[in-house]
Amino acid sequence: MKKGICILIFLFLGGVAGLYGKRISHLIRPKSETNTVRFLVYAGTDYSTGLYKKSRAKVILTISRFSGQQEEVLWEGVVNEGAVKNYPSPVNSIFKEVAIYNVSDRTETLAAYYKVIYDYKGSTMSYQEGITLHNGSATDTLKIAI
86 and 115 part of one domain: yes
Q: What is the DSSP string of 38-83?
A: EEEEE-SS---SGGGTTEEEEEEEEEEEEETTEEEEEEEEEEEEEE
47 and 18 part of one domain: no
Residue type, 68: G
Averaged pLDDT of the chain = 84
The pLDDT score that the predictor gives to residue 17 is 57
CA 36 to CA 34: how far, in whole Å? 7
The pLDDT score that the predictor gives to residue 19 is 52
The pLDDT score that the predictor gives to residue 53 is 87
pLDDT in tens, 128-141: 999 998 888 889 99
CA 10 to CA 29: how far, in whole Å? 28
20 and 38 part of one domain: no
Domain range spanning residue 54?
Answer: 32-145
Counting the structural domains of the chain, the total is 2
The pLDDT score that the predictor gives to residue 90 is 92
pTM of the model: 0.75
The pLDDT score that the predictor gives to residue 31 is 66
Among 56, 76, 77, 47, residue whose Cα is nearest residue 125: 56
54 and 119 part of one domain: yes
Q: For the domain that residue 130 is a member of, what is the CATH number? A: 2.60.40
The pLDDT score that the predictor gives to residue 52 is 87
Which parts of the chain sit beneath pLDDT 50? none
Assign 91 to helix, strand or coil.
Answer: helix
Evaluate the CA torsion angle 56, 113, 42, 146 in order and state its sign. negative
pLDDT in tens, 68-96: 889 999 999 999 998 999 999 999 999 99
21 and 56 part of one domain: no
